[in-house]
A and B are shown apart, each in its own frame.
Chain A
Amino acid sequence: MPQDRLFEEMTQAVIDGSPDRARALAEQALKAGIEPLEAIDRGFKPGMDVVGEAFAQGELFIPDLIMSGEAMKAAIGVLEPELLRRKQQRQVLGKVVIGTVQGDIHEIGKTLVGTMLAANGFDVYDLGVDVPAQKFLDKVREVDADVVGLSALLTTTVLNQETVIQALKEAGMRDRVKVIIGGVPAGPEWAEEIEADGYAENATEAVEVVKRLVG
C-alpha cells in the first residue's frame, strides 16, 4: 500500500474508533519501514483532530470520542516500544495532572479531557474523582507538572476548584503550575474570580487552552 494511502487509513481507523484496525495499521507501518513518529503525526493524530473538532461542534458525542481515544491508544501501544528501541521520543508537550475535585464523583468530562490531552502529546496523570486538594499538590510536586486540570460538575463542588488554588498558593506552588478549570457551573468569569489560568468549555477546547498555557 502506498504510504499516503496507509496514513489515510490510519486517520480513518481513529475517526471510526476502531482499536483493532489502528493496531493492525501500526504494525503494518512498522513492517513497511515507516518512522513511528511519522505514523503518529501523519497517520493517527489527524484522526483525533477530526474527531475533536466534530465533538466540539456537536456532530460526534462521548462514545465516539472515547472509542477514537482507544484507537489512538492502541496505535501508540504498538509504536511506542519501537520509539524507545530507537531511542526516540514522542515530543511531550507538557505534563498535566487532572482530576475531579473533592466531593464530586463526575468522571466522564474529566476523562475525555485526559484522552484528548494524551492524544495530543501531553503526559497525563489522572487522579480520578473526589480528589482532595492535597492529592493534587502531591502529584504536581511528584511529577513536576506544568498544568493541573480541575473538573467540577456541581454548583456546590465547583467551589473546591478555588480550594485547590488556595492550597497551591499556601504551599508556595502557585507560580510553578498553571491551573485550568472545567465543568458546567464553571465559566470564564469564575476562572477569573478564583485566579485560574484558563477555562475550557469542552475537551477539544481544553487541548487548545493547555497548549497556550505551556506554549
Chain B
Amino acid sequence: MRIPILDALAAGTILVADGATGTMLQAAGLPVGQPGEAWVLERPAEIVSLHRRYIEAGSQLILTSTFGGTRTRLEKAGLGDQAEEIARRAAGLAREAAGDEIYVGGDIGPTGEMMAPLGRLTYEAAVDAFAEQARGLAAGGVDCIYVETMSDLNEARAAVEGAQQASDLPLFVTFSFDTHGRTGMGVTPAHAAGTMAGMGVAGVGANCGHAPEEVLDFLPQMQEAAPGLYLIAKPNAGIPRLVKRQAVYDAGPERMADLARQYVELGASIVGACCGSSPEHIAAIRQAVAGGG
C-alpha cells in the first residue's frame, strides 16, 4: 500500500513518471484529430493497457489520459458537457491499472484558448473549467493534481485556483519552456516557480519544451526561486524530425536516462518524459535513477 505522495517525496523517494500518451494512443489506432479523451469513453481497455505498459516499464506515477480534458477543449470534439464525467472515468481507469502501489496524477493541460486580454477566455471561466475537471479527477481517485505544459502564467494560476477549489489534493504544475528558455508567452522558469510557490503548490517543473538538455538550466533557476518546492523534469525525447513521414525524436532511451540522472543530481524529485517517448524510455530512466528496483 502506497503512502501519501508528499510523504514519499519528503522521504527522498525519486518518482519516475510516465511518458507520452497521445502519440502512443495514436499508434494504437486513435484517429488523428480525435482527442484521447474520446477513448476514455469508447475504448477504456486501450487506456488501461497503455497505463499498464508504463507501470511495467517502471513508472511509479502515471498521469490520467485527460490532457485535453477541460471543457473548453472538449467542446471542439462535441464532448464539452462531459468534462467532469470523462475526468472521473479516466481517473478510474488509471487507478484500475495502478492498483494500490502506483501513484496516479490527475492530468490537466491548457484550455487551448488565449486568456483575456489577448484572447476571449476570462480568468473566471478558466478557473471554472479547471475546477470542473479537477472535481472529476478527485472523485475518480487520483493522488494528486498534475497541471502540465503551461505557457501562460495567468492560465496556470487559474488552473491552481480551480484545482484548489475542487479538492485538497497536492498540486504539481509544470511549464513548457520551449521558446528561447522561456514559455511561448515569455515566462521564465524563475518567475513561474516563484509564482506557483506563492500559491501553495507542492512542486513545479518543466515538461514538453524544446531540447531536453535545456532542462538542466531550468531546474536550478526554479530551485532558486522556489527553494521549498519539489522539482519535476518531464521533457520531450528530443526534437522531432520527419523521416520518411514518420516522426523521429532525437533523444533515445539511453540519452533520456542519462539526462534523468542529471536532473536528479540537480534536485528533481519526479522525472519522466513527454512527446516522442515510450515505455522503453521510461524503463531506461527508471534503471538510471532508481537502479531498476
Contacts and interface: CB of A to CB of B under 8 A. Distances in A.
Contact of A103 (B23, B33, B240, B245): B33
B interface residue count range (under 10 / 10 to 19 / 20 to 34 / 35 or more): 20 to 34
Given A155-B23, A156-B26, A185-B247, A60 B186 contact: yes
Interface stretch (A62-70, A171-179, A207-215): A62-70
Interface string B180-200: 111111100000000000000
A104 interface: yes
Interface string B137-154: 000000000000001000
B226 to A, nearest CB: 21
A187 B186 contact: no
Contacts of A66: 114, 118
B33 A184 contact: no
A183 to B, nearest CB: 10
B32 A64 contact: no
Contacts of A61: 179, 182-186
A159 interface: yes
B241 interface: yes
Contact of B118 (A67, A157, A186): A67
Contact of B76 (A60, A130, A187): A130
Nearest to B68: A105
A182 B179 CA distance: 15
Contact of B179 (A58, A159, A186, A193): A58
B33 A157 contact: yes
Given A61-B179, A105-B76, A159 B245 contact: yes
Contact of B180 (A58, A67, A107, A189): A58
Interface string B157-194: 00000000000000000000001111111100000000
Contacts of B112: 105, 107
Contact of A156 (B23, B179, B185): B23
A189 B241 CA distance: 9
A104 B247 contact: no
A102 interface: yes
A85 to B, nearest CB: 31
A190 interface: yes
Given A102-B33, A130-B76, A187-B241, A63 B185 contact: yes
A158 interface: yes
7 contacts: A58-B182, A62-B118, A103-B33, A105-B73, A155-B242, A156-B32, A185-B242
Q: Which 6 pairs show the lowest CB-CB distances between chains A and B?
A: A58-B180, A61-B186, A103-B33, A155-B247, A156-B32, A103-B32
Interface of A: 58, 60-64, 66-67, 102-105, 107-108, 130, 154-159, 184-187, 189-190, 193
